[in-house]
């Protein structure tokens, strides 16, 4: 993405807003890189090359997470919205039973447990 990423005149934007915009672009670039690696990995036949690509993709996930964490720390409303979004899904997943059959054909239930670290 080029430097004409602003919707308002850049000289009228605060330093914080310009940094926020750069981090949004960085987040987008990391997501694109994750996608590119996923596509390359899916077609790669050489296991050693695939392992290298998988390692590189994990680095892109780390960078994506770092960018997202920075953006959420800078925007408290964003943190609250994301926490609510994830909390709803954790509650649903935590209490959604999975039915498993025993060898004697009786059923028992397994409940998923998910732990999310703080988004602060």
pLDDT digits (tens, 9 = 90+) for 69-114: 888 888 877 777 777 776 665 554 444 445 555 555 554 444 444 4
Distances in Å between the alpha carbon of 111 and those of 77, 83, 86, 93, 115? 31, 22, 18, 8, 13
pLDDT (0 to 100) of residue 3: 54
Q: How confident is the model at residue 61 (pLDDT cuts 50, 70, 90)?
A: very high
Q: How much helix, strand and coil, in percent to the nearest 5, is found in the chain?
A: 65, 10, 25
Instruction: Name which residue leads in pLDDT, 118 or 35.
Output: 35
> What is the value of pTM for the model shown?
0.65
pLDDT digits (tens, 9 = 90+) for 4-43: 778 899 899 999 999 999 999 999 999 999 999 999 999 9
pLDDT (0 to 100) of residue 5: 77
Question: Which of the 8 DSSP states describes residue 19?
Answer: H
pLDDT (0 to 100) of residue 51: 95
């Amino acid at each position: 993405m080029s430097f004409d990423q602003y919707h308002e005149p850049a000289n009228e934007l605060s330093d914080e807003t310009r940094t926020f915009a750069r981090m949004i672009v960085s987040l987008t670039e990391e997501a694109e890189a994750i996608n590119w690696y996923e596509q390359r990995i899916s077609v790669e036949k050489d296991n050693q090359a695939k392992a290298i690509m998988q390692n590189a993709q994990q680095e892109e996930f780390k960078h994506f997470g770092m960018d997202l964490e920075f953006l959420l720390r800078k925007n408290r409303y964003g943190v609250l919205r994301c926490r609510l979004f994830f909390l709803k899904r954790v509650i649903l997943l935590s209490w959604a039973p999975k039915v498993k059959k025993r060898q004697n054909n009786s059923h028992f239930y397994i409940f998923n447990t998910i732990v999310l670290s703080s988004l602060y």
